[in-house]
């Protein structure tokens, strides 16, 4: 189990927020500690995940691919089979239970790729809460299908038009809203970042992933795996997949970041390898941030919107610096190759984020022995992301289909307008 020391993990973590937010963070921390010590709460959470999201998710052996690559036996932890198509729902359902206990009726969230926003909108609808989701205006353009669903689910989606109009600005805006509405509102943070207690709290809920892997590995492999691999954006699915193995020193834990186009500044989102990021304080916490020459938050790039983030969980920053987690990266090209390989060999459509874990995991599996076992956390499915994936694999036929679909939709809008006049 991963625990902080007063909100810190080594030198990283902490709580660097306007004074007005301190009481809310303290209240959240107190409630979290109380519930974490209450054995019935974990069961309540697991039951909710089971009845609403389909947990436990399977541990699937990849027989054909393992044989083809000729190394270790490869297994996938199938977070893609969760309701809403990714691991994000685990954290959101857990925070939903906390909100109910705190008696708050309104939630806010920030979202980049839209996955966390969608999971939050689903939770709000299920639990009868009012939700406002902040999203950069450019991300709204890129991820409109998720915006469509969030609004259909009854959430308000607010486009943020300041700065680079992406996740960083959405996060700043969500913090501003929270400062003004903290009495009635809970901020549902989507990854293991931000001010304490969020990194620890999100990791606690996501640890359901590694608790299941342990049990399933004992049944299906007869022992613990040799390696567990996961992609790293903010760090929540990786910490979820790693946390129950932290004390098992024989289980290697490998986090794969977005290698993007190259290791040049602005062309990747690698924060845990030496010489890419530096310690800094921003967005309420201390971690390794990508920075420019003036110490401002730097530019990032990834083929996967969900990995395109400038900071990383303070827990992972600490675990990588102390050597418990091995950092790796995968380039956009390696990611698209791993994506296609999994689809064509095993019939599973992965998210582009998760395909970073696949690329890193396949590479490592090849250099391992056939009697060894490697588990890759498949954090999300790709078929929900068809628009993003189609952009990564541009095709004339798809483009023509979208134009015909747009014309059909416009016709329906025009007909409806005529009828209303
Ligand atoms: C499917 C999927 N995997 C991984 C991530 C990265 O987030 P994290 O590092 O918090 O797991 C995202 C983020 O949106 C995602 O949608």
- pLDDT tens digits for range 222-242: 999 999 999 999 999 999 999
The H or E element containing residue 329 is: strand 325-331
pLDDT above 90 (res 71): yes
pLDDT, tens only, 287-334: 999 999 999 999 898 999 889 889 999 999 999 999 999 999 999 999
**Adjacent-strand bridge partners of 186:** 107
**Per-residue model confidence (pLDDT) at position 388:** 83
Tell me, in angstroms, the distance from the centre of ligand 1 to residue 22's CA: 27
CA distance 249 to 231: 20
Name residues whose C-beta falls within 8 Å of residue 13's C-beta, 6 or more positions apart in sequence: 4, 7, 196, 199, 285, 286, 287, 314, 315, 318
- Domain annotation for the chain: domains and CATH numbers: 8-50+87-202 (3.40.50.1100), 57-85+207-387 (3.40.50.1100)
Spatial contact of 15 and 196, defined as CB atoms under 8 Å apart: yes
Residue 35 pLDDT level (bands cut at 50, 70, 90): very high
Catalytic residue among 4, 79, 84, 88: 88
335 CA → ligand 1 middle, Å: 15
Question: If you average pLDDT over residues 108-132, what whole number do you get?
Answer: 95
pLDDT at 389 over 90: no
Phi/psi at 17 (nearest 5 deg)? -135, 165
Q: Which of 233, 305, 315 to mutate to test the pocket of ligand 1 (most atoms within 8 A of CB)?
A: 233
pLDDT at 349: 97
3-class SS of residue 157? strand
Question: Rounded distance, CA 384 to CA 204, Å?
Answer: 26
* pLDDT given for residue 339 in this prediction: 97
CA pair distance 112, 307, nearest whole angstrom? 9
**Mean pLDDT calculated for residue range 384-395:** 86
In the annotation, is 379 catalytic? Answer: yes
- pLDDT tens string 75-117: 999 999 999 999 999 999 999 999 999 999 999 999 988 999 9
Based on the residue annotation, tell me whether 110 is a catalytic residue of this protein.
Answer: yes
State yes or no: pLDDT of 421 exceeds 90. no
* CA gap 4, 7 in Å, rounded: 5
> Sheet containing 106-111: which strands, arranged edge to edge?
156-160, 130-136, 106-111, 185-187
Ligand 1, atom 7, lies closest to the CA of: 233
Which pLDDT score is estimated for 404?
Answer: 97
Ligand 1 atom nearest to 380, measured from its CA? 1
By CB atoms closer than 10 A (0-12, 13-18, 19+), residue 21 is middle
Give the Å distance between the CA of 87 and the centre of ligand 1: 8
Ligand 1 atom closest to the CA of 235, numbered from 1: 9
172-223 pLDDT, tens digit each: 899 999 999 999 999 999 999 999 999 999 999 999 999 999 999 999 999 9
Cα(412) to ligand 1 centroid in Å equals 35
At residue 247, the pLDDT reads 97
Q: What value does the mean pLDDT take over residues 6-17?
A: 97
Q: Check: CB of residue 198 under 8 Å from CB of residue 13.
A: no
pLDDT of residue 274 exceeding 90 = no
């Amino acid at each position: 189990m991963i625990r902080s020391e007063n909100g810190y993990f080594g030198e990283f973590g902490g709580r660097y927020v306007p004074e007005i937010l301190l009481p809310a963070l303290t209240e959240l921390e107190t409630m979290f500690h109380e519930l974490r010590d209450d054995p019935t709460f974990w069961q309540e959470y697991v039951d909710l995940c089971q009845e609403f999201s389909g947990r436990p998710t399977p541990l699937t052996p990849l027989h054909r691919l393992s044989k083809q690559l000729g190394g270790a036996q490869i297994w996938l932890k199938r977070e893609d089979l969760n309701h809403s198509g990714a691991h994000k729902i685990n954290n959101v359902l857990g925070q939903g239970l906390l909100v109910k206990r705190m008696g708050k009726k309104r939630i806010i969230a920030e979202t980049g790729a839209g996955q966390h926003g969608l999971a939050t909108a689903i939770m709000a609808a299920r639990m009868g809460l009012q939700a406002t989701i902040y999203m950069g205006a450019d991300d709204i353009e890129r991820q409109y299908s998720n915006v469509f669903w969030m609004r259909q689910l009854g959430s308000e989606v607010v486009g943020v038009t300041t700065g680079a109009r992406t996740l960083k600005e959405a996060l700043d805006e969500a913090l501003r809203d929270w400062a003004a509405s903290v009495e009635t509102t809970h901020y549902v943070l989507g990854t293991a970042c931000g001010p304490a207690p969020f990194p620890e709290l999100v990791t606690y809920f996501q640890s359901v992933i590694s608790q299941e892997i342990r049990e399933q590995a004992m049944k299906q492999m007869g022992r613990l795996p040799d390696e567990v691999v996961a992609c790293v954006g903010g760090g929540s699915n990786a910490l979820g997949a790693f946390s129950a193995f932290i004390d098992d020193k024989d289980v290697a834990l490998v986090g794969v970041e977005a290698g993007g186009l190259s290791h040049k500044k602005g062309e990747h989102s690698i924060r845990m390898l030496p010489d890419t990021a530096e310690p800094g304080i921003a967005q309420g916490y201390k971690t390794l941030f990508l920075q420019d020459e003036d110490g401002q938050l730097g530019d990032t790039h990834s083929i996967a919107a969900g990995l395109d983030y400038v900071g990383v969980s303070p827990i992972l920053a600490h675990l990588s610096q102390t050597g418990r987690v091995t950092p790796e990266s995968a380039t956009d090209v390696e990611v698209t190759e791993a994506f296609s390989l999994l689809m064509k060999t095993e019939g599973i459509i992965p998210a582009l984020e998760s395909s970073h874990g696949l690329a890193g995991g396949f590479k490592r599996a090849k250099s391992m022995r056939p009697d060894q076992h490697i588990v890759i956390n498949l954090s999300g499915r790709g078929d929900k992301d068809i628009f993003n994936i189609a952009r990564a694999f541009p095709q004339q036929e798809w483009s023509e289909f979208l134009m015909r679909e747009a014309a059909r939709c416009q016709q329906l809008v025009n007909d409806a307008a005529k009828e209303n006049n």
